[in-house]
Amino acid sequence: MTTTVDKKQLASKLVRIMDEIGPIKKSGWNSFHKYNYLKEEDIINAVRPLLTKYGVAIVPNVLNEEVSHSTTQRGTQETLSRLQVEFTFIDMETSEQIPVVTMGHGTDAGDKAAYKAMTGALKYALRQTFMISEGGDDPEADESADARRAQAVADEPGVVIGSSSVAGVSRGGRNANANRIQIDRLRDLARERNLSLGGMAALISVVNGDEVDVSDPALAGMNVQAYLVSNPVAKVTALIRALEAEESVDDLPPLASEPLPFDSDPPQIIP
């Protein structure tokens, strides 16, 4: 007897799980940076019973790992692990599979960077696959952060913007590396110039003499982002000032017709 497998069965189960999860409240609290976050434990506790109920398993597979090292202002050596992870959803009844690929970043002064990256990859794979709401405010609604950044940039575009020079920006404290405001400023300038990731890599090479691998489209954004967050503030400031001087981009490779983002690619469901 021939059994016909319904190829839509697993997708239907994922939709039913999505429907039953509902919002998950942020129960984690980072006492150093003073913000709430959604814990991996909360997501797993909400998703696991439903996966069991519908007979769906998840199998992780690390596709790629990139490791870099940096030194903090206090001289502490830190490791940054960047993982590309494939999580395969498997229907236990039909053996049908749907892979989900996501990225995870983790920084640690010991040996836990890869584990932190794996935790981040799993959290966002589950959040994006099941459209999990945090039950809180949309990050884009944070007008106070936007106002601080706009004021800092307007006051003096060429200045080095640090946590000690912008009122209200205390998250992260003093750090030898670039902060979020500077990276956002660099990203905005690159988009204004319609600069692709290849163009940004070329600019980094010309201005700082460093090489960033953008040969793999799946990892290019992650590699550029990792370079920006793990290098001293002076290097990011040099890139900002170079883009503020329009003549600095004249000798770069042809610009992309559609500029690519700096941020890591969001999780993708592979058909």
Q: Report pLDDT digits (tens) over 191-200.
A: 777 777 788 8
Helical spans, DSSP H, in 130-175: 143-155
Question: What is the structure's pLDDT at 173?
Answer: 42
Q: What is the pLDDT of residue 192?
A: 78
What pLDDT, in 10s, does the model give residues 253-268? 444 434 444 444 433 3
Tell me the pLDDT tens digit for each residue of 95-149.
999 999 999 988 888 888 899 999 999 998 999 899 887 655 555 455 555 555 5
User: Residue range 147-157: average pLDDT?
Assistant: 46
219-265: per-residue pLDDT in tens?
777 888 888 877 777 888 888 888 877 544 545 544 443 444 444 44
Specify the pLDDT at position 72. Answer: 72
3-class DSSP state of 48: helix
Across 22-31, 86-95, 154-163, 195-204, least confident range:
154-163
Residue 109 pLDDT: 84
Does the pLDDT value for residue 164 go beyond 90? no
How would you classify the pairing of strands 77-91 and 97-108? antiparallel
Return the closest-CA partner of residue 198 out of 229, 223, 230, 233. 223
Q: How far is CA 217 from CA 5, 9, 17, 120, 221, in A?
A: 35, 32, 32, 21, 8
Query: Between these two residues, 154 and 240, which has the higher pLDDT value?
Result: 240
Confidence of residue 4 (pLDDT cuts 50, 70, 90): very low
Judge whether residue 203 has pLDDT over 60: yes
Domains and CATH numbers, the chain: 9-136 (3.30.390.80), 140-249 (no CATH)
- pLDDT of 55 strictly over 70: yes
Q: Please check the confidence at residue 6 and state whether its pLDDT lies above 60.
A: no
pLDDT at position 241, please?
Answer: 84
Please tell me which residue, 255 or 93, carries the higher pLDDT value: 93
When the pLDDT of each residue in the chain is averaged and rounded to a whole number, the result is: 74
Cα gap 66→193, rounded to integer Å? 29
